[in-house]
Structures are given as C-alpha cells and as structure tokens.
Structure 1
C-alpha cells in the first residue's frame, strides 16, 4: 500500500507539471468594468477611475530569466510585487452635506481598482489585490451603522485572501454611491437611497456623530488566510497541506468552553485525554496521534509560539480563532508529533473603543461573568490596550465536584511609528477544584455505577493550579519587501493534585481504591525567536522567503508521593464517604527534574513559478539536549539533532480549484524518563520521526463564500519505543526503538455561507491508525482513542430583515465511531451521535443566546475514560458599547 501511495504521489506531481505546461499555452482574460456610480443608471463622475484587469498565464518563452548577479537581484526585489495585496491601514467615515464618505487609506496612496455591482438593496464594490489590516498586521472588519438616512450600514471586510469588499445597504432602495481617488487612497461617497444629489469630493470634516464599530473579529465562517502553516499570512488555497480555521463567529455561535470543544468541527481531530474536568485542560488526537500530554505542551501553539498545552490552564474568552494544521509541522516549530498542531490566536488591542460585558448561566451551577475592553490610550493611537477578565464557577454531574476558574489578560500594543510595533501581553489563570472529577470506567473497561456516583473519596481528591503567560512580539518593517520579527514567550504553570480513585471491583460490590497519589507539578517553558521575512523577484519568479532562529527551554519539576496507608475499599451499594475511621494518608515522597533545551534554524521559500503554479519548500535543523535527574531519574543526558524538510506544490487549473501535493517530516524529542536503549547498553533514545505524504484539492464555490478541502494522506511514525526482545532485559524495563505506527486517511472539510444568513460547516474523516511493528503490541492493533469514522455538521441561519431580524437558530450533529481504549485493544469505547442546538438574537450591540449541548443526553467517554457531559443548557447575554 505504501508503495502504491508513493507512486500515486509521483504520478500526480507529474500530471500537475504536464497540466501546467499545457495551460501555459493558453490565455485567460477577465475584463470587469467600472461604469461610474451604480450599474443601474446612477450619475457618473468624470474623474472616476476606469479599470481593466487581465489575467494571463505566461508562455515559457515569455518567462524573464533570473538575476545573474547580486546587483540584479536587489534591483529586481525593489520592483513592486503585484501578488502581494495592498494593505488598507485605516478606514474613516466622515459626513458631507449630501451624506457620508468612507475613506480607505493605503500606506503610500496606491491606486485601487474596483469592480462594482448591485444586489437587491446592496451596492457591492470588490477591490482586488487589497486587504484590510490593523497596524499589527491582523485582519479586521469595519462597520458603520446607519450613517445617513436611508442607509442601514456600510461594511468593509476581507472577502477572500486577495479581495476587499465594500457593501452599502439601503433601507428601502438601492443607495447612490460614487467612487473616486484621493491622495491617501480611495473614497466611497454615499448619499441617501432617495437623494439624487451625488456626494462632494471636497475634503470632508470629521464628525463624532457617525456610528462606527470596528472589531478585531473576522465576520463569517470562512477565513481566507492563515499563518500557522507558513508563519506568514498565506491564502489557504496556496498552502499544500490541510489547514482549518475555526473563526470567532463559530466559537460564539457554538458557545464553546474550551479549545478542545472548539475543534470538534475539524475533520481528523477528536478529544484525547482530559484531566479531572479542569476547565481548559485537555489534549486532542490529530490524524491518529495523541498531542501534547507529556511534553510540556510541545504540540500546542499560542499565536505561533510554544505553549504549555495539557499542563496549562486556558480561558476561551481570550481566543480570537483557532487554526489547526494537520500533518507534520516541525519544519517551522521544532519537535512535534506528526499528526498536526493546534494554534490558538488570541484577541489583540483594537484601534477603536470597544467595550463588551457578558454573563452566562447554566445548569449544574454554571455561572460566568466576563468583560472585554479595548481601544486607544492616546489620541494618536500610538498606545492601544485590551483587557479581558472572567470568573467561572461550576458544579458537575458527578457528586461533590465543584470548580472555580479566574482569569485576567491585559495586552498593550505600542505603535512606534509607521514601521515598528511592539505587543506586550500577560495572562494569569487560577483554578481550585474541591473534589476532582474521576473516570467513569474501571481498568477493565466496565461501567458499573451511574453518572452521578463518585468512585472514590472526595476528601482525598483535589486540585489547585495556576498558569501565567507573558512575553512580547516586535515587528519592524525596513521596507515593503523586508520585515524583522522578534518574540519572547514565557509560560509558568503549577499543579498541586491529590488523587484517590477506584480501579477495580472486588466481590461485585467493593470498589478497590487503587489509584492513590499526590503530585506537585511545575512546568516552565521559555521561548525566543527571531526571523526575517522578505519578498523579491528572480526574473518573473516571485519569492517570499523566511529565515529564522529560535530557542526553547522546557523544565518539568515533579514532587510526588504514594500513600503507605491507602484508604479502604468503598461499598458501592452503600458508600460511606465521611467515614471517621479513614486516616489521613501518609505519603512516601520523591522528586524528579527533567529539562529539554533546543536550538533551531529554519528557512522557507514560497515561490510563485507562474500565476497558477506555486512551490513551497523549507527545511529546519534542530539541536536538542535532554537532562533527567531525581529519585526515579538516574542522572542521564542525551544530545540529539534532527532535520525536518517540507516540499509542496500547488497547481490552480482555474480560479476556483487548487490541486496540491506535499511531503513533510517531523520529530519529537525522546522522553527523558525512558530507560536506555539497546538492551541496557547505555545509549539514550533518539527522537521519534514522522513522515507524511499528502495530496488534495481545494475549491471555492458561490463566488468564494463557500470553500472545501478534500485530502488523502499517509503518516508513518518510526523510532517508537518498545520492550527489549530479550525477555530478561524486558523484565528489567529496558527497551529498543524498533516500533512503528502508521495512519492513513481521507478528510473532507466544507465551510462557508450558502445563502445570506445561512452558514455551514461539514466535515468527515476516515482514519486507519494502527501498530505496524512492535515487540509487545500485536501488529494491526488500532491506536488508542482513534475512531475509524468521524463526521460533523454545524449550521446556523439568521433572519436578515423584518421585525425578527437578528433572530437565529443553530444545529450541530457529531458522530464518532468505536475507538480502542488502549494499545492492547483490550476493550472498546463505543460510538456516539451527539446533537447540539442554539437559539440566539443579535440586534445592534445586544446579543442573547441559549446553547444546548448533548440535546438527547447521550452517554459516551473520552480517551481518558472520563464521562462526557450530559444535557447541558447555557444562557448568555452580552452588550457591546
């Protein structure tokens, strides 16, 4: 099978090259016109810009030869890169005697081409090769509500990765709109829908009465670009790998409480291990491989930088969107599992005042007030801020469990001129769990007690944890084509846990309390990165090159203990939780300290060979040093290195279709706590390696409102640790690295807007993840927690007009097939079909919603044998002012 897949990859790559050459013989032309005003007979301006856009695929004999000297290279790099969208850095709405003018400002007063049309009461102007950006480089949406009589709103938003859309909506008729140039950019002149008088081109005067709402969120379900795959803002269709973006609107519509819940609509991603029901603590399984449970969060990112992951608290209120890159990502981020990586993008300071107050309440004692404030601190917008804070209190369906979570997250952005910006951030989270939630299954897979039964002694189960994140990012633009970026990120997390839970049943009645321990974990990670991002041309070939260096240090200190007097068995027919005869445990304690230090250098080039043929190539080299010491870590050090390449091709046979193929590798540092390799010969383990081949197709439908990705892949994970074949050495705990695991699959992802107000996300994944070589696990056994079939549908509809405008409905369907609970495949976690629902009302700045999770109260388990939440109802209300 592997040989056939590799052959298929080569055949597809050859077909792409042949098709590209054949397509180079043809010319494709699209000539949109701007007639002035609106197409349906509106007055024209004599100074209106006419625009004609022609797309031509170059013939081979028309391709300009690359530079042959350093002088030629820099001469060509100074030529404007027409493929890079012009950035709209500010949008202003100012009144005129006839109406209002919306000014789209560009850094250097670039000329913008416009294609306009009308639809019902909407005037729509599409501006190709332009994108709306904040000073920090992030996308945003501009909205002016009821700026003049007869006009409902004016919006300016990124329609796709290369197109800016201006929409003017009339209340009862089509508004009158004129477009004309200014020294700073483009002016959109608007008068009322009933006024025949065109706007003036005279310099407008500012007026504070205009209602403007500028937010840092990306409206809608489809996001045209992402940064996780390349560390640059790259259109999704130009990335030769599967990537899914879960935007703010989806997080709000579903009202998710954690990142794990946020990615439930992503194909190939399912919930992995969790931790005692702690808010925001958990891990996901991506393409068959568990992420971030023992490596200090190495498989999770936060704004593109290493995070604590499983051993770090998180609050969903600070999240702007979540990007999931499926497949190896070591080429840019270092040691990772091969299944993929989850990158959480946080909310950033805004250039316009924004204040949001919210309250959520729900069953099981759920209560959460929160605030989100942002805006400028200075009149010239050189200092921007954002402050997010929340408090959460909740009980559980399991008796005795009660959880409190407090979080604050201040952020400051300093705009030091037009070319330099510094972002400073801090986040603090603290949780207290009086009695932690316990697994709902025993070690043999049986479930012998109801949901609300507590299978342990609540007084011996608790958790206290704090997490702090702080750091900064610096960006400096030397020119339009060269940029320096630098970042520092620190993550500190402390977990104090006490656990005492049942593991098996004796005499069909007494629960054996066999899992007893006390642990004080301290995870500390520090990350620093610097890179250069440049654009230049070699002849007609365009390059966007990234060169960087990063350093990370992850240290885990553990103080642990096991009781010398474990508590007595628990009678499940008549549990006595307050037994006065139970003595306080006395623990035999020990300490361990593990540290992983790594240095990495990476280079990446995004090459536009033709208008419809792109090449992505990159490589990274890492040096890793691991040190383990302590009572159960006889002092040991290992030094390793790893090279992680990636190469991918994207061919676009039409404006709406992109075909891609890629090859990539990953590595993960060996666990410090593992015993030595090769039968006790004293050699430390080497990193595990992942190798992926992937092919796929990406399409855009309905004028770009709906996108789909279909992908097929094969990932092989090698250097897996398995017991030594010598039974004597295996009994002593020694291992060898000859194990292999493989995951193959097909994934489908469809996202976007079907009709105005009707959004949808559909996903399906088929995953065959199995053990292919091992000394103790039978070959063919399925990997832990991986369903063969996974499917989801989430859809919403919002009424667009009339008295019920703003009223919306949501429905979610989630299916996960059977999964194996362990590598031995000794028992199975059953399949489940869960239904979610939502009812919401959004009008102006008011938002109210009711969200229902697990509508039909289906019982199922995660990979950590914890029961999923039963029927959960949450009511929320918020006001933005």
Structure 2
C-alpha cells in the first residue's frame, strides 16, 4: 500500500476516533488548571496575624498512619517518587501566620481542593509529602517557601516542589521532632499549626495529628484551630523564591511529564526566567546555557540563525531537529523568544519518538499557554545599534467559569548591527485559545506568525580575518553582498490544535495537528575571494516569491498506566503523519567584482535572466511507535521503545526534466535503565538509534538515490541533587556513530556526483549543573568535552578531520542574585562566562577558529508589578568568531552591546 493511501485511511480513522469521544464534551464543570507563565508577579511571603481572615468553620484532617522511617532506612530504600498525574492540584500561595501557640503555615489551593498527606519523621524533622500537588502562582510560576528560625525551638520550615508531582513540607526542630497539628479549611486550604518550644515540649517520636473520635457527631463542637496572636505578633523572616532555573520534568524525552531523574538520557531545559535574566532574543542566546551545543555554519546576523551542532552533529530545520510543542518544523529560520516558555534539548538519537533526525539530538521549544487569571504584560527593550523591541503578553479567561481562556503574545523588533547595511526587522504574533469541555477534555487552538526582513549577509573570507592577509586586516563591519539588492523576506505561519481527553485516571488520548506555511522572497549573494587576496567575485541569486513550502503534521498518542503484579507500566502508543512539499525556482546573475578593502557597491544592476534551479519536491512519512517505562521497583526503571517509519520522497527537476522517487523504511529502537541507589542519585545507561533520509538532490553517477543515514549511540550517566534538592546535576558520557554519509565521488569525471561511504563518530563527556543554592541566587554551569572526527570519506585527506564548528572544549557559568529583604529588596545583578574552544572552520580543516571567552552581565530592580534592567553582552568587547561555513564565510561574534528593558505586568 502506498503511503498516500495510508495517510487517507488514517485520516479517516482519526476523524472517526474524534467523533467517538466527542460526547464526553457535553459535561461542563469549573476546574482550575495548572498553567505556565512568565509573569514577574511575586508571591507575598510575610504575613502577620491581621492579614489572614479568621476561619469560623474548620474540620480536622484524619490522621494518616505511617511507620516511622529512620535516615538509614531512607538510604537503603529510597522514598517513592510520585508518578506524574494529570490531576495536579495547584497550591497558589503559602502564608505564615503567628499564633498564640507558635506559627501556622497555610497552603492555599486555587479553589479549595482537598489534598492528600503522607507524613513521617526523620531525626528532628517532621516531613509531609503531598502527592498530586505543585507550588504554582496563579500566573503559573513555581516557587518555594522558606522560614529560618520562625519561633522558639524551630530551626526552619520549608515548602518545596519535591518532584514533578509532589509538594514536601519540612519542619525542622532544634532538639526534637516538632509537634504539628493539621487542619483543613474549605476557604483557605491546608493548615499546619506548629507549636513553639515555649508552648509545647518537643518530642523525639512520631508527631501527633489531632483527630475527632469516630463516634463524635459532626454537630458537636470540634477542636478549634489555634487563634491568631494579639497585638504583638511574632515577626517571621520568610523568604519566598521561585524555582526559576530548574525544571523538575520535561516532555521531550518521553512525550509524557516524566521527572528528569527517571529518564535514561541527558535532557537540559532552559526555562523562561533564564531567557528573561539574560535577555535572550534568539535561540543562540538561550542555547549557550546547554553543554555540547554550539552555533552551526551560520552566524547570528544571517537569515538562518537556527542552525546548531549538538554532540558534534549539525542540526537544522531540514534534518528534522527543530520542534515547537513537540511537532517538527521545517521552514522557520528565526525563533522569536517572546512566545517561548522554555527550551528543551534532548541529546542523542530521538528517532524512537520523532522519526527522522540527526543523531546528536533535537531542540524543542514550548510556547506560553493561556492562564486562568487575568494577566497583562508589556515590555520595551532598547539598546545598541538602534535596537528597538516592544512586546506584549496578555492572557485570561473568556467566560465566568474560566473554561475558555486566551493568550496573545506579540513582538516587533527593528535593529541595526555592527555590519554595514545589515538592518533587521522582525514581527511575531502568537494567539492561543484553550477550551475545557467538561473536566476531562481540553482543546487548544494556537497560531504563530513570524516575518523576518534582513539583507543577505554571508560573512567574510578567512584570509584577512582568521588568517593573515598580506594586504591588511578586513574590518568586521565589511559587507560583501550588495545593498542595492532586495532584503530576504521570510514568512512562516504555524496554525494547529492540540486535543486531550482523559478516559480515566489511568488512560488518556492526545491528538495534535499543525500546518506550517513558509514562503521566501529574497536576493542573496555568494562571494568568493580570489588569489590576489583583494578581489571578491560575487554570484547573485533571486527567488522572487518562488520559494513556497507547505508542511502538515498529525500526531495521536494513547497514554496509559497499568500494573502487572507489582510492576508498574507507563505506556505510550502513537502514530504521526507528515506530508510536505516545496516549490522553488531560482534565477542567477553576476555582480561586478568588489575590492575587499575599498568596496564600491553601485556600479551595475544585476540582470537575473538565467534560471538556475526549478524543482518541486514532496515527502510523506508515516510512523508508528510504542514506549513502556517499566518500574520494576521504586528505584529501578527500564525504558523500552521502538518506532517504525515509512518514507516516500519524490523530486521533479523541471530544469532537467528528470524525476526521482524513493521509498524507505526504518526501525529506531531505544533501551534504557535507571537505578536510584539513594533518593537523590540516578544512575542510567541507554542505547538508541536514529535515521535521516538522504534526500534526492544528490545522486550516484548511475542516477540512483541514496538510502537514509543511520546513527547509533551508547550513553551512561549520573543525575543527582545537592543541598537538599537546591542544586541538580547531570553527568553524561556517550559515543555516537553516524553511517551512510554521502561524500563526493572521487572517480575522475564524476565531480558532480556522490557516493555513500562516509562515516562520522563523536564521543564525549558533558556536565550540567542548575539550581538555587541559597535563596535569591540562581545559577547554571556547563562543561562539554567533544571528540568528533570523520572516520570514513572518499577524500583521503579528510579522514581523521574534525567537523567544522565543533569545539573540543566548551563551558559556561551564569549566576544571578536578587536581594530578598531589606531596603534593597528586589535589586539584583548577574554575570556569566561563556567559553568556546578552538574549532575547525571547514571540513578540510584548512583553518581554525580560535577559542574565546565572552562575558555577559546584568543589573535589575524588580518590584511587585514592574521591572527595569540592563544587560551587557560581550562586556569586555572581545573580538571572536561565532562560526564558519568555509574559507569564504567566516562570521564574527557581536561586539559590546547594551540592552535596557522596562517591563510592567498586572
């Protein structure tokens, strides 16, 4: 059966499936949903008695009997991590209120939902784990609560997100286990009443929770919550701080909300707060915070900045490595960060769930989603080189019961640059709407339009920049294209939906569709320096609206949980369909030569009369995949997965009247194991494979096309937490081999043809550390050692060479601190060092880009609903090279720049 027939059949099946589950939409209930946001609103963290309204109706929480665990028992048998649940209660605030007996800590839920408890004592600590709950502000941001020495006899009270699905409250006594009473209020939430040493004697045994006798009628007077203290309340020093830089879970690795510590792979997350603190305006800025990632064969000023290398292998839109909300995108050349919630980088082969991709890894950006509470934000950033960028972010409910919600992000950017004539203009508009149809069904409809207009910039030659030119050094501001040519205008529109329905607590279905419409209207130039080291020849190309692409993706996932005896299974069954086409016609002309040191740009007009390319290509992919996360015990997990792909490709070269067709199949497995000898440590090992269709633009001399390239990875690693979960770290070691690489045909007379014998290998070690070691201090540290080389090639001189733009050593350190109390509360500052080692500038390894250290810094001041900040990039104005494509295209990094930002939200 042809792929097209399969697509039609599956589309019909999908439509029937949607009709079957549609009746579940008839029920409408009010429900508070856990959302994500980038709001800067701060949680009130200091409450006195007069700030909390008295509660007149209070019922006790029934006592939960659990055996006392010793610290030794916890080491030998780690506490169970709560599996992620789709019904997570949002605790929107934590208040501390002095009472006559001591202090009470109130966990406020969004609508008074009941919370389950699992309490125990360890040493002098009274610990309560609250499953299926998360600390989230109404705007969606995570936070933590900490009170140092709040009352006599109590060393500390903390409330934190223990994992992706559990809140942990810890009351640390100074000389014994504190006495804590638990209450539940229908108006305020869960209340913990902590007695001071002066009000009660601490005991070294299991703390008691009060409970009414079973025979006591409800009408009788119940024991009351301790009343608030009088005119002289105890002053509490309480610090509330968002968990800004550390994400406990990620969806990219397993397509489920699996805690990162349970995933047998290295996955790094750059959350929204990092983008804000560093004022990241593109993915290049964001991915400096991830080990093993470097900029690819384009510079930040080009029209194609979304090209990177991960673990030594190139990633870009064409090879299936860039995703938005888990769906592959093909056309987008620039990602506006105004609408990005976080960036996730899954390292290693990802074909088991996503199909075609390079073996180094994939990049997935998740977008901001609608909030249940009104939120209005505006931001203005201005800076060096006439940089100007206003942005808005507004969200809220569309009806009284908040079952319909919206969000709109929009940004406009206009800027110059350090290169002559290179001025950019970019527009981004991203609306999204979410609808709840009953408590079990949600539909989200999302759009994302981005338009970019920028002159073509193809860098500078290596001779005169990296390499010595006897005639002098070329200024970094030199422009070798032509200002009389038209800008490159790229328009990319994403529109689609995500549907989710929950059948039960254990089974749910997801369905998503995305359409991407990409068009190009551009002039671009290919310059080349001649042997005299002065003359630059220039070939010009024009695509006057004759580059149009359409890509469509449909995904359906069935997610379930079941047990086989004592073994738990987290299951994923899914399929996806991709079909896309590109219609491209290119015209060619010749520009007058240019003097590298004294350019004159207005000598002639290009005549684009010769058609150099006229093609129409199509690709249809159908993939089936299955995954099982098996929990043999609480601390031993196995991840098994496999995917089978069918790929149809066709190319119609209308210039040569030749047509090429190819059908391929591929199986991509993944096997991984995670062992947690103690609670904060995860040891893992994994094996995975990838595949990538070779495309039809390169052929053998006999006219045949090439089979897909294949990748294989072995990886081991350790994930751990330090300082009671305040810092997390991942150490990974890997080896990746990529085979069936297409290389030039060495046979005389066949220079325009290729053969498939190439191989590339990469091995290395990576370290990523992220967290908040003390209140107010957030940091990210990375290091990567990457040993990448070409192991097979038709050109003998290339064997043993390093791929270009892959540094052997790379490291970064970023830290930002915000003062938590006193007259300077809200004032903050930060700094970062970004080191990139030597890199080869071309595959022939004829020149080397030198290493560099770039220093960035920031200062800011934040109040309740506004923030002002300055960001300094390349603080010491270091000359450095970001990347290179070959000897004619070397790209300088940006010199010293300042960005000033004022943002308000309410």
Q: Identify the TM-score tier after normalising by the shorter chain.
A: 0.7 to 0.9
Give the aligned partner of residue 529 of structure 1. Answer: 555
Contact 1:419/1:476 (8 A) holds in 2: yes
> CA distance change for structure 1 residues 47 and 638 in 2, over 3 Å: closer, same or farther?
closer
Give the aligned partner of residue 628 of structure 1. Answer: 651
The superposition leaves residues 648-706 of structure 1 with CA deviations (integer Å, 9 ceiling, x where unpaired) of 01111111111111000000011121113xx51x4321110000000111111111110
* Superposition pairs of residues 20-31 of structure 1, within 5 angstroms: none
Of 777, 791, 807, the residue aligned with 2:827 is: 807
Give the aligned partner of residue 611 of structure 1. Answer: 634
Of 844, 869, 872, the residue aligned with 2:894 is: 869
1:498 aligns with 2:523: yes
CA distance in 1, matches of 2:785, 2:815: 22
How far 1:161 moved relative to its partner? 2.9
Of 786, 790, 793, the residue aligned with 2:806 is: 786
Query: Match of 1:253, SS?
Result: helix
Q: CA RMSD in A?
A: 3.9
Contact 2:391/2:410 (8 A) holds in 1: yes
The superposition leaves residues 220-257 of structure 1 with CA deviations (integer Å, 9 ceiling, x where unpaired) of 21111111100001111111111111111111111111
1:477 aligns with 2:496: no
TM normalised by structure 1 equals: 0.81
Give the aligned partner of residue 88 of structure 2. Answer: 88
CA distance in 2, matches of 1:280, 1:180: 58
How far 1:315 moved relative to its partner? 1.0
Give the aligned partner of residue 52 of structure 1. Answer: 66
Which segment is superposed worse, 489-498 or 97-106? Answer: 97-106
Contact 1:627/1:638 (8 A) holds in 2: yes
The superposition leaves residues 303-348 of structure 1 with CA deviations (integer Å, 9 ceiling, x where unpaired) of 1111136x44421000001110100000000000000001101110
Give the aligned partner of residue 41 of structure 2. Answer: none
Give the aligned partner of residue 369 of structure 1. Answer: 390
CA distance in 1, matches of 2:462, 2:639: 48
The superposition leaves residues 154-205 of structure 1 with CA deviations (integer Å, 9 ceiling, x where unpaired) of 997634334315699xxxxxxx996424689952379999xx9x99779xxx
Of 111, 126, 129, the residue aligned with 1:127 is: 129
> CA distance change for structure 1 residues 144 and 761 in 2, over 3 Å: closer, same or farther?
closer
> CA distance change for structure 1 residues 86 and 630 in 2, over 3 Å: closer, same or farther?
closer
1:228 aligns with 2:275: no
How far 1:779 moved relative to its partner? 1.4
Give the aligned partner of residue 109 of structure 2. Answer: 104
Contact 2:802/2:845 (8 A) holds in 1: yes
Contact 1:849/1:875 (8 A) holds in 2: yes
Query: Match of 2:118, SS?
Result: coil
Contact 1:567/1:585 (8 A) holds in 2: no
How far 1:101 moved relative to its partner? 5.8
* Superposition pairs of residues 424-503 of structure 1, within 5 angstroms: 424-433=445-454, 435-442=455-462, 446=467, 448-460=473-485, 462-500=487-525, 502-503=527-528
CA distance in 2, matches of 1:829, 1:704: 39
Contact 1:109/1:185 (8 A) holds in 2: no
Of 751, 776, 783, the residue aligned with 2:770 is: 751
CA distance in 2, matches of 1:273, 1:415: 44
Give the aligned partner of residue 312 of structure 2. Answer: 288
In structure 1, list runs of 5 or more residues that go unmatched.
Answer: 1-43, 60-79, 169-175, 203-216
* Superposition pairs of residues 160-199 of structure 1, within 5 angstroms: 160-165=163-168, 179-181=182-184, 187-188=190-191
Query: Match of 1:331, SS?
Result: helix
Give the aligned partner of residue 71 of structure 1. Answer: none
* Superposition pairs of residues 119-158 of structure 1, within 5 angstroms: 127-132=129-134, 140-141=141-142, 158=161
> CA distance change for structure 1 residues 301 and 547 in 2, over 3 Å: closer, same or farther?
same
Contact 2:514/2:553 (8 A) holds in 1: yes
The superposition leaves residues 14-56 of structure 1 with CA deviations (integer Å, 9 ceiling, x where unpaired) of xxxxxxxxxxxxxxxxxxxxxxxxxxxxxx9975745636789
How far 1:596 moved relative to its partner? 1.4
Give the aligned partner of residue 650 of structure 1. Answer: 674
Contact 1:91/1:142 (8 A) holds in 2: no
How far 1:805 moved relative to its partner? 1.0
Give the aligned partner of residue 68 of structure 1. Answer: none
Contact 1:89/1:106 (8 A) holds in 2: no
> CA distance change for structure 1 residues 190 and 450 in 2, over 3 Å: closer, same or farther?
farther
How far 1:116 moved relative to its partner? 9.6
> CA distance change for structure 1 residues 792 and 699 in 2, over 3 Å: closer, same or farther?
same
Contact 1:442/1:504 (8 A) holds in 2: no
How far 1:568 moved relative to its partner? 1.5
How far 1:417 moved relative to its partner? 1.1
Give the aligned partner of residue 734 of structure 1. Answer: 753
Give the aligned partner of residue 698 of structure 2. Answer: 674
> CA distance change for structure 1 residues 165 and 521 in 2, over 3 Å: closer, same or farther?
farther
How far 1:279 moved relative to its partner? 7.0
How far 1:282 moved relative to its partner? 2.0
How far 1:273 moved relative to its partner? 2.8
Give the aligned partner of residue 905 of structure 2. Answer: 880
In structure 2, list runs of 5 or more residues that go unmatched.
Answer: 1-57, 74-79, 152-156, 172-178, 200-209, 211-222, 227-240
CA distance in 1, matches of 2:280, 2:300: 18
1:262 aligns with 2:262: no
* Superposition pairs of residues 60-79 of structure 1, within 5 angstroms: none
CA distance in 2, matches of 1:185, 1:111: 16
1:837 aligns with 2:838: no
Contact 2:372/2:402 (8 A) holds in 1: yes
Query: Match of 2:879, SS?
Result: coil
CA distance in 2, matches of 1:452, 1:423: 46
TM normalised by structure 2 equals: 0.79
Query: Match of 1:237, SS?
Result: helix
How far 1:132 moved relative to its partner? 2.5
CA distance in 2, matches of 1:642, 1:292: 21
> CA distance change for structure 1 residues 83 and 201 in 2, over 3 Å: closer, same or farther?
same
Contact 1:93/1:100 (8 A) holds in 2: no
The superposition leaves residues 439-461 of structure 1 with CA deviations (integer Å, 9 ceiling, x where unpaired) of 02258965741012222321125
Of 99, 113, 120, the residue aligned with 2:118 is: 113
Query: Match of 1:494, SS?
Result: strand
Contact 2:421/2:483 (8 A) holds in 1: yes
> CA distance change for structure 1 residues 111 and 638 in 2, over 3 Å: closer, same or farther?
same
How far 1:762 moved relative to its partner? 1.0
How far 1:261 moved relative to its partner? 1.6
Contact 1:597/1:625 (8 A) holds in 2: yes
How far 1:712 moved relative to its partner? 0.7
CA distance in 1, matches of 2:880, 2:549: 31
Of 817, 821, 837, the residue aligned with 1:797 is: 817
CA distance in 2, matches of 1:177, 1:81: 24
How far 1:115 moved relative to its partner? 6.7
Query: Match of 2:676, SS?
Result: strand
> CA distance change for structure 1 residues 322 and 549 in 2, over 3 Å: closer, same or farther?
same
Contact 2:786/2:808 (8 A) holds in 1: yes
Give the aligned partner of residue 44 of structure 2. Answer: none
> CA distance change for structure 1 residues 672 and 590 in 2, over 3 Å: closer, same or farther?
same
> CA distance change for structure 1 residues 89 and 632 in 2, over 3 Å: closer, same or farther?
farther
The superposition leaves residues 431-484 of structure 1 with CA deviations (integer Å, 9 ceiling, x where unpaired) of 222x33330225896574101222232112521111101100001000010011
